Amino acid sequence: MLLVNNIRDNFESVLQGLQKRNFANAETILHQVLEIDKNRKETQAQRDNLQAESNTISRQIGTLMKEGKKEEAEKAKSRTSEIKEQIKSLETAYTNLEEELKQLLFTVPNVPHISVPKGKSAEDNEVVLEHGKIPTLPENKLPHWDLIRKYDIIDFDLGVKIAGAGFPVYKGKGARLQRALINFFLDEALKSGYMEVQPPILVNEDSGYGTGQLPDKEGQMYEATVDKLFLIPTAEVPITNMYRDVILEEQDLPIKNVGYTPCFRREAGSWGAHVRGLNRLHQFDKVEIVHISHPEQSYIALEEMSKYVQNLLQQLELPYRVLRLCGGDMGFTSALTYDMEVFSAAQERWLEVSSVSNFETYQANRLKLRFRGEDRKTQLAHTLNGSALALPRIVASILENNQTEDGIRMPKVLVPYLGFDKI
């Protein structure tokens, strides 16, 4: 959530940033924010002035009673009663204005970092680098949805029977590959100084609002309506919310957490080859990294997170590229996002496997996540997160890129976890 003071003090730069996102009616909404905030402050000032007057009169009543001026004391009491009613009315108005301001700010996305390119869609994203050699496959190469059927390692039909489309059943070496990847990703994170956590996969509304999934992505989340809980779309939500309403000490920063969870997305996309097989699912496994950072260090942390994810892809021997997302393709809460895409040699296209983002103070403002500096004053921290990694498209790429005439070769780094080197 944007800071009102930042909007007021840097109106033009905030407006230009939101226009880079192609955010409709940005100028009108920003002016509405400032007008509501002005009314809120004026209401608060009126309330404070009346409270001060009431306090002064209350002190006078005692003096008047001692002096025997009973009639004047009664008039003063009557005035305090009037003031109490006015204060009550102003408090109600103030509460309503605060809620109106909050709900309006919920609709405003984060301001992009200055390095974010202009653009409206994925076609306008900027390629930062490419790494690795695209493999040459046999003429009879198969996409992963045919490979998994051929080797009987993932069963989509059985998943439909149990739950519906988008809920595959992993079995045999397919299940072992899933487990191997999860353990590999977690072990690598621990080596890099992350603390592992195992969070709930259900969150409440406060958590959804804290990290920005609500109200922006409410329709994309599965909801347990009786208990007003949501199945998580990513471990970012519960892990970051561990620090909601928390004041950290500056020396505790940075905080680095990693967690594995299943993830759930109601909106899994349209029909077509680009969402076929493992390309887009309703349920999938993911290892997530989360940073709580000092504002002066957060972009250094973002680059470190990007390099960390790239190192995982290098160890898995997968060709990849890094994109800097344009304003029109960024997530609602992000200030800067790098996407990592792996090349699928069978599908002959790039598949997104990770997003690494800096949210600056946007989430922290919603979360009331602060830290206390040496001067003992508090300020908002910066939050960052990244997929390290999401499994479905990694599995798809491993299967497709490593297929041979006599089976599918496994990346060397996974063999100790798998207990076999080929499917």
Please tell me whether 353 is known to bind a ligand. Answer: yes
Contact (CB, 8 A) for 377 and 342:
no
Q: How many CB atoms lie within 10 A of CB 115?
A: 10
What domains sit in the chain, N to C, each tagged with a CATH number? 4-106 (1.10.287.40), 122-418 (3.30.930.10)
pLDDT tens digits for range 47-69: 999 999 999 998 898 888 888 88
Please tell me whether 355 is known to bind a ligand. Answer: yes
Judged by phi (left if over 0) then psi (alpha if -120 to 50, else beta), residue 179 lies in: alpha
Please tell me whether 266 is known to bind a ligand. Answer: yes
Residue with tokens 């001026």: 69
Q: Give the model's pLDDT for residue 368.
A: 98
Please tell me whether 385 is known to bind a ligand. Answer: yes
Helix extents (H) in 192-297: 205-211, 236-241
Q: What is the DSSP letter of 161?
A: H
Please tell me whether 366 is known to bind a ligand. Answer: no
Please tell me whether 265 is known to bind a ligand. Answer: yes
Q: Give backbone dihedrals phi and psi of 294, rounded to 5 degrees, phi first.
A: -65, 140
Residue type for position 6: N
What does the alpha-carbon distance between residue 130 and residue 120 come to, in Å, rounded to a whole number?
Answer: 23
Residue with tokens 């993830």: 263
Q: Give backbone dihedrals phi and psi of 63, rounded to 5 degrees, phi first.
A: -65, -45
Q: Most distant CA pair in the chain: distance in Å?
A: 108
Q: Is the peptide bond before 302 cis (omega within 30 degrees of 0)?
A: no
What does the alpha-carbon distance between residue 388 and residue 25 come to, in Å, rounded to a whole number?
Answer: 36
The candidate with the shortest Cα–Cα distance to 21, out of 103, 120, 141, 123, is: 120
Contact (CB, 8 A) for 153 and 159:
no
What does the alpha-carbon distance between residue 156 and residue 265 come to, in Å, rounded to a whole number?
Answer: 17
| H/E element, 144 | helix 144-151
Q: Is the peptide bond before 295 cis (omega within 30 degrees of 0)?
A: no
In DSSP notation, 269-292 reads --SSGGGSTTSS-SEEEEEEEEEE
Contact (CB, 8 A) for 76 and 61:
yes
**Low-confidence stretches of the chain (pLDDT beneath 70):** 268-274
Please tell me whether 179 is known to bind a ligand. Answer: no
Q: What is the DSSP letter of 345?
A: T
Sheet containing strand 382-390, strands side by side: 126-131, 320-324, 336-344, 349-358, 382-390, 283-293, 255-264, 195-196
Q: Between the CA of residue 399 and those of 149, 319, 345, 383, what are the distances in Å? A: 12, 13, 10, 34
Cα 297 from chain centre: 19
Cα 169 from chain centre: 28
Residue type for position 119: G
**Contacts of residue 267, Cβ cutoff 8 Å, sequence gap at least 6:** 219, 220
Contact (CB, 8 A) for 266 and 220:
yes
Contact (CB, 8 A) for 395 and 384:
no
Residues in the chain: 423
Please tell me whether 115 is known to bind a ligand. Answer: no
What does the alpha-carbon distance between residue 394 and residue 343 come to, in Å, rounded to a whole number?
Answer: 10
